[in-house]
Amino acid sequence: MNLKEKIREIENFPKEGISFKDITTLLKDGDYFRYAVDSIVNNLKDKNIDVVVGPEARGFLLGAPVAYAMGAGFVPVRKPGKLPGETEAFSYDLEYGVDTLEMHKDAIEPGMNVAIVDDLLATGGTTKAVAKLIEKLGGKVVAVEYLIELEFLEAKEQKLSDYEVRSLIKY
């Protein structure tokens, strides 16, 4: 099954010069959606994953079904002020300015095996921040799985060399 043919590329979204990879065209096709989720589940089998962590918002769309299929827990990472309980925060640099992500402090217990699942790897800034949050709480990031990876940005080499990173579709 060629997953890439279901990704729609939209030029100049959300701003000039960006070729946005739209995953909604894949998600709306039941066979392709299931194949994508099953492929990630297959990559994670035998890794004893306790929880899957998914960043807002598209990380929820893939992370939650992956966790469900494995019988693992799911933990959301959100923008500041969205989670009701006590949170741990991590700030990271963007091209212009900073961004902050939050996770519930009690979401991860020390020693847990954690997989990060997200839709797309671009610069790796989001994933690096999520990994730092997990590690701050004592979790072990045993795998990072994406639907799409923008290989030409070299995030795997430059930001995520400490982690086992895989993707299903590459640009």
Least separation in angstroms between residue 68's CB and ligand 5GP is 20
165 φ/ψ angles, rounded to the nearest 5 degrees = -115, 135
134 scored as a contact of ligand 5GP (CB under 6 A)? no
* Catalytic entry in 34, 56, 95, 151: 95
| Residue 34 is a catalytic residue | no
The residues that bridge with 8 in the sheet, in sequence order, are 22
Shortest CB 51 distance to ligand 5GP, Å: 18
Q: Is 36 in the site for ligand 5GP (CB under 6 A)?
A: no
131 belongs to the binding site for ligand 5GP (CB under 6 A): no
Residue with tokens 């212009």: 96
Out of 54, 65, 76, 124, point to the residue binding ligand 5GP (CB under 6 A). Answer: 124
How far is 32 from 6, CA to CA, in rounded Å? 8
**Residue 21 binds to ligand 5GP (criterion: CB under 6 A):** yes
Structure tokens at 48: 């004893």
Q: What are phi and psi of 39, to 5 degrees?
A: -65, -40
User: For residues 20 and 163, which CB has a smaller minimum distance to ligand 5GP in the complex?
Assistant: 20
Other C-beta atoms lying within 10 Å of the C-beta of residue 8:
12
| Residue 26 makes contact with ligand 5GP by CB under 6 A | no
Contact, 122 vs 171, CB < 8 A?
Answer: no
What is the dihedral sign for C-alpha 119, 61, 40, 11?
negative
Under the criterion CB under 6 A, does residue 156 sit at the interface with ligand 5GP?
no
- In the residue annotation, 11 being an active-site residue is answered as no
Q: Distance (Å, rounded) from C-alpha 67 to C-alpha 111?
A: 18
122 binds ligand 5GP per the rule CB under 6 A = yes
Q: Which residues of this protein are in contact with ligand 5GP, per CB under 6 A?
A: 20-21, 23, 55, 58, 118-126, 155
Question: Which residues are identified as catalytic?
Answer: 58, 95
